Amino acid sequence: MAEPFPSTFWQRDCTLCGACCAAPDIAALNKPLGVPCQHLDRGCRCAIYENRPKVCRNYTPDWVCGEVAPLPTLEARVRRFLEIYDLA
């Protein structure tokens, strides 16, 4: 049986893991599910941060960030993000 609660602490600060810019679809950027945003740089930073769309501006880190950030690669973080939301 799966744990009913996350195994990690609530994350309130961005960890620069890149998962939120790679895992979900972002219609405002025509970005499909599971594909890194074209504006995500090699350091998992947003290259258009000052001009990012409202959906990105409204995102706030949460427990999922704490769950995926420790994983060693962006691909692993995306895979876990999609598993958490049953999208994998």
Residue 4: predicted pLDDT? 47
CA distance 9 to 44: 21
Residue 7: predicted pLDDT? 62
Cβ–Cβ under 8 Å, residues 68 and 20: no
Reported as a single tens digit per residue, the pLDDT across 3-44 is: 545 566 677 788 899 999 999 999 999 999 999 999 999 999
Q: Which amino acid is at 10?
A: W
Residue with tokens 């995306």: 78
pTM for the full predicted model? 0.84
